[in-house]
Amino acid sequence: MSSPAADGKTRARRIAKLLADSYPDAWCALRHEDAWQLLVATILAAQCTDERVNMVTPELFARYPDPDSLAASDPAALETMIHSTGFFRQKTKSLRAVASVVANDFGGSLPADLDTLVTLPGIGRKTANVVLGTSFGVPSIVVDTHVKRLSQRLGLTDETDPDKIEMDLRALLPEREWTHFTHRLIHHGRRVCLARKPKCPDCQILKQCPQIGVSDEPPPPQRRRPRSKPS
């Protein structure tokens, strides 16, 4: 008789296979040419869509092509350039701080290991894993809002802390699957397993999904109709 842990691994691998069949080419949606550009784009993507970030970064990278130039940037000019991504003041501080450290302490090149990346100003495990998996080819699991939501709905974890979710998914899947699984799960979350109203009838992995919490999702807020003026 198989153990619950073994059953969990089997189901996780089935889900990974179905996602691979559905999204064989899924990859990072943030446009970039190197690890540094990806790090910058990922910082800008906080509370912002990838589409919006991709509209901002071409001009940003042209004006500030490396950590040295970004560290020396005028804060007001940088704020104006990234204003549309939201939280632009905090993002400006974060970008200039991390650029300064990378330029001065790492010779302008990002370190390619998790323990060092998370020592950089404002860089947590999620951002570090994005860069490691996508740019450096290091097997990594990125727990963003989509991965968190779907891994809970799929019954792959009952944790709420992103770091603990990452550890659960690492235990369920072989290393070679980690990076691709992340990108495919994010794609699935954006296209089918939506936050408010998942498209379960259209889901390619429905047979493997216990739909945990789906029926408990709060309905979207109803807009109040304006009262008609008395005639």
Structure tokens at 78: 């940088």
Q: CA-CA-CA-CA torsion for 58, 145, 162, 213, nearest 10 degrees?
A: -170
Domain match, 110 and 176 both: no
Contacts of 33 (CB under 8 A, 6+ apart): 61
pLDDT of res. 230? 44
Please say whether the beta carbons of 142 and 130 come within 8 A: yes
Q: Are 71 and 96 in contact (CB under 8 A)?
A: yes
Q: Are residues 51 and 129 in the same domain?
A: yes
pLDDT at 2: 46
d(CA 109, CA 103): 7
Q: Please indicate, yes or no, if residue 113 is contained in any of the structural domains.
A: yes
Q: Are residues 125 and 51 in the same domain?
A: yes
Kindly state whether residues 195 and 148 are assigned to the same domain.
yes
81 and 114 together in one domain: yes
What pLDDT does residue 215 have?
67
DSSP for 70-128? HHTS-HHHHHHHHGGGS-HHHHHHHHHHHHHHHHHHSTT---SSHHHHTTSTT--HHHH
How many residues appear in the chain? 231
Tokens at residue 5, please?
A: 């842990």
CATH number, domain with residue 122: 1.10.340.30
- Domain hosting 167: range is 141-208
pLDDT for position 6:
72
* Strand residues in 26-82 grouped as ranges (E): none
Tell me the mean pLDDT per 10 residues along the chain, length 231. 69 97 96 97 96 98 98 98 97 98 97 96 96 97 97 96 97 97 97 95 95 69 49 36
What distances in angstroms separate CA 96 from CA 14, 52, 91, 107, 213, one per listed residue?
43, 20, 8, 15, 40
∠ CA 84-90-95, nearest 5°, is 90
pLDDT score at 216:
56
Per the structure, the count of domains in the chain is 2
Q: Are 110 and 98 in contact (CB under 8 A)?
A: no
Q: Is residue 29 part of a domain?
A: no
pTM for the model: 0.88
**Residue 147: per-residue pLDDT:** 97
* Per-residue model confidence (pLDDT) at position 224: 52
Which 8-state DSSP code applies to residue 35? H
Count other C-beta atoms under 10 Å from residue 62's C-beta. 8
Q: Write the CB contacts of 62 (distance below 8 Å, at least 6 apart in sequence).
A: none
